[in-house]
Structure 1
Amino acid sequence: MRLRRFLLRYYPPGIILEYEKGGYLRTKSIDLLDLTPETNPDDLVSEIRQAEPLITESRSEQVKELVLRLQEKQGQQDHHRFCFCKELKAHILPLTNVAFNKSGSKFITGSYDRTCRVWDTASSTELCTLEGHRNVVYAIAFNNPYGDKIATGSFDKTCRLWCAETGKCFHTYQGHMSEIVCLAFNPQSTLVATGSMDTTAKLWDVESGQEVATLTGHTAEVLSLCFNTTGDQLVTGSFDHTVAIWDVASKSRVHTLLGHLGEISNVQFNWDCSLIVSGSMDNTCKLWEAVSGKCVATLVGHTEEVLDVCFDLSGQLIATASADGTARVFSATTHQCLVTLKGHDGEISKICFSPQGSRVLTASSDKTARVWDIQSGACLQVLEGHTDEVFSCVFNYEGDTIITGSKDNTCRIWY
């Protein structure tokens, strides 16, 4: 094994090693999720060296420089204030979803008008339209971190794979018996997972266009799914009140997570793949151990359905959005509610952390999105201007650009 070079990852903090083994170029990451500006870099470098044989004495100084750069990034205060930049009349019918590529240089919009459009973020110009679906384009995703492919899932029961540059359709994945409502690429970009109203999830091969597996066992719609960061497990959440963990290699179900008393609205792994969070129409969130499938906590406090839930990139925090018009931030370790975010006049359907983890973004039926400080719970900004429900909101990788999508057929870019 020979180390070729280091790559830096700011969010969440980590160092990627690019190395040669058996004539092939490979990568492995050293996650530094507990890094703070106060961490002693020399102590950390010696810890890393003990755990990683690829890093020799001669590379120590280089690794220390990378750690210092990560700490410098962490020490930068996030005072960014977002200004409205542009409104895109993106589609002739309401939007369904918005998604960025890894760098945030491009984003995509799905719509009831049966198309997906690719946009250049900086110039706000449309790069191409992905046409071919015969019904609503509901679920969309880039194959991040690469960003050269796009998957679209439709109410026409198919998923399509497209070239992000040219808009050419590589494959149409056929086999679901009902609408596709969620999808995800695995981190290696070799598989696409789709979830459907037909109660199944399917795995598809990106290269060949063939179906790899049908994951059966849910008794109602599969409404959300997520790969873990290593790509060896998939989690699915269903209207049957259950969450399932699947082993990707064997295509078999590892655990069924029982305990929710209502439909599952969203499921997500944390970064180190140790925990899963689920939000439910039973007004609660649950935290589960990925290995054992055991419920470790039930996060309570909302008085109506939990419509969305997510981890921050470090996996230390959980944010929840509810039909009660509030959002909450919980500690993933103590399970305590750290702050309640109040101010919206309608249900909150979407929530996400900034990459830095210091801000939360919410989208609401009150026609606004809001940016919140997670320490104080203060609303830092109200993003106004949409004339109908805002159902989608997303940060770019640097956390300095936001896109909001609305039922008013437009999306807005905020810098």
Structure 2
Amino acid sequence: MGNNKKIAIISSYREACGIAAYAERLEKEFQKYGHVEVLALNTEVLKSNNEELIALGDMLISEIAEKLKEYDYVNIQFEAGLFGWAPERIFKRVQVLLKECKNVIFTFHSVNFDTPRLFRRQLLSIHFIKVLIKYLEKKRWPKLYDQLVRELRKMDNDSGCKANIIVHDSKTQRFISRVYHFEHTYAHPLGLSNIDERSIPRTAEEIEGFRQKYKIMPEEKCIGVFGFISEYKGHLTALKALRCLPNNYRLLIFGSQHPASVQPFVSVDPYLKVLLEYIEDCDQVDIKAKCQKFSERVTFAGDVNDQAFAQAMRCCDVVVLPYIEVNQMGSGIAAQAIENHARTILSNTKCFQEFGTYYPNCFSTFDIGNYMELADRIVNFEDKYDDAIECALKEHNIEKNVQEYMRIFER
């Protein structure tokens, strides 16, 4: 492989976004293989439904497309919401970019090929109009992903162009290969930490410093939950599990409200309000029982930098990701938990089931929303995963992911 290639990554960049963080990690690793530049998406403009900003967004996409003529290889990090709010607009913008690519890898971070169905009994309903509108709205998104894959396959068949797809689970890779007969579809899990970061040991000194910072007593056990405070992250399940645990268990929530959910004149995010009300209700019960208040066992740690985020994963007694099912394909936070050798417990979402095929015997699981089962998994967590984690990380990491990118580019 030569190191004189020009590589462009199209992605959100240097903002509070998981894909933006991933793009920064890819940028550093791609530098081993050539000149790399991230062509940042202005998501503030692209997501807007204001007519003037829609026009500006289209112009910004055209400006990026014009630059692509200079690059040998292009990687588009795709999450629909980064490119717009309407499927039709998103597809047109992606088309503009693809027309200027000579060799592209299109990385899907989520997909939705499930076309909704409209049943006869719904057609006979007195709410037929509402049902039909909802059906047509849902149908637009699977159509977008269908169009994108067909466009990439068509591009790859054109003389002089190469198009490839990367997804983060083998199930989606098989689906695209079988349904669309597109052989240039590949799968690998997300990887964020480099070899030096993955090699940082869990030391007694670091753990002691962490516990002092968050005022965790020697007899207390700490449970860490990570990521933006959004409903699909399942924080309420973690709180309910904590309620089932002895009083020496603490819950630390690392992350804050997602910037995209901040709305004018909303005093508190609706989901955050649900969490706070649950904690307050538990407090009222504890006050009547004259025992320690539940709120004293919960810490909202807020946003922390990458280094502190990784440190918290290493130092918590367990890391819990109690997500609900949202058709997510990959999880950067789950990858970081494994990369930091965290004692990890994941809910049985489809995403985490697929994650387990890359990282077998590396974490414990529980059924979505089953806070009683989660509490049991926390109390009885077995420290038996280190060898399997070490073995899996030799096969799946960001260095090998980028090696695969280059191999695909140069096929």
Task: Name which one, 1 or 2, has greater alpha-carbon Rg.
Answer: 2
Higher-strand-fraction structure? 1
Higher-helix-fraction structure? 2
- TM-score, normalising length: structure 2: 0.27
Higher relative contact order (CA 8 A, sep 6+): 2
